[in-house]
Structure 1
Amino acid sequence: MEIGTFIKEKRKAKSLTLRELANSINLSHSYLSQIENGQRKASPELLEKLSKVLDVEYMHLLEEAGYIRLQEYDESYIEFLNIEEFRKMEFPDIEEYLKSNQVYFSKKKLNKAHRELILKVMHALTDELEKNYPSAEEIEKLYRNIKDSTEVINNRN
């Protein structure tokens, strides 16, 4: 299920109008409508606000939105990763990969000229897109929440 549909269903289950929910989290109703209709992506910060109003676990909303994959985390995994490794795995930036030496496409290694050309094309294609990459603070918060959640789950077992 798309995150926007999920939010809409939870909002309706709580008998909230679009305006009421938007007002409760200091967001315009039109922006929230765009999220519910899949035209915008909800940031982790916004999902945290929504989790409180909709009585949904924050981590569950992050998973529904595609920010994290909770079922894949276990204590050894999260202990192994430092925050930078976590960022690269959960929020990969194609530009970082294209700047490295070991980049393949269709099982063929791309040389520097190919990688630079691809970067130019990607920049041209994405110039008009909204910048929505999570901030360092948002990534660290996600990392800490996952680490804390993993510890709680493992302590229950």
Structure 2
Amino acid sequence: MKHIGEFLKEQRLAKKLTLKQVQLKTNIPDSTLSRIEQGKYIEPSAKILKKLSTLYEIDVIYLYLFCGYLQKDDLKKYQQYFLGIDKLNLEEKNHIQQLINLFLKKKRGENNAI
């Protein structure tokens, strides 16, 4: 099985980008990118993976799974709650987040009352 660096290098080359171009677009030092691609930086941070996933147009969840930041069981546990969320616009997603925040605030209040 290839390491994350090999996969990311393939994605970069498929986009016909140099390390320097990736650095300019993501603010990730090209030396860091090179170490990741060579397998010398085995666990790139979630922040780096997020930036690269956006640039390379790949699902960040796939990268998190690849690196072990997420497990498939963890993902399955939460997927049922977010089915169809990709079809909502930003305003609708923000409304859902506000509801979640409200429920969490209520829960914290209940826990503090005990």
Which bin holds the TM-score, normalised by the shorter protein? 0.5 to 0.7
Q: TM-score, normalised by structure 1?
A: 0.47
Q: TM-score, normalised by structure 2?
A: 0.64
Which runs of structure 2 are paired with 1:81-120 in the superposition (5 Å)? none
- The answer (yes or no) to whether the contact 2:12–2:18 under 8 Å persists in 1 is yes
Q: Tell me the secondary structure at the aligned position of residue 36 of structure 2.
A: helix
Post-superposition Cα deviations, 1:18-38, rounded to whole Å, max 9, x if no partner, equal 111122110111111001111
Identity between Structure 1 and Structure 2 (%)? 32
Q: Which residue of 1 aligns with 2:6?
A: 5
- 1:152 is aligned to 2:82: yes
Shift of residue 57 of structure 1?
A: 0.5
CA distance in 2, matches of 1:150, 1:35: 33
CA distance in 2, matches of 1:34, 1:4: 8
Q: Which residue of 1 aligns with 2:65?
A: 63
Q: 1:11 is matched by which residue type in structure 2?
A: R
Judging by fraction of residues, say which structure has more helix: 2
Q: Which residue of 2 aligns with 1:34?
A: 35
Q: 2:71 is matched by which residue type in structure 1?
A: R
5+ long unaligned stretches in structure 1: 76-146
CA distance in 1, matches of 2:8, 2:23: 12
Q: Which runs of 4+ in 1 moved over 6 A?
A: none
Distance 1:19 1:150, change over 3 A: farther
**Paired residues, number:** 82
Shift of residue 153 of structure 1?
A: 4.2
Q: 1:151 is matched by which residue type in structure 2?
A: Y
Q: Which residue of 2 aligns with 1:14?
A: 15
Q: CA RMSD in A?
A: 2.0
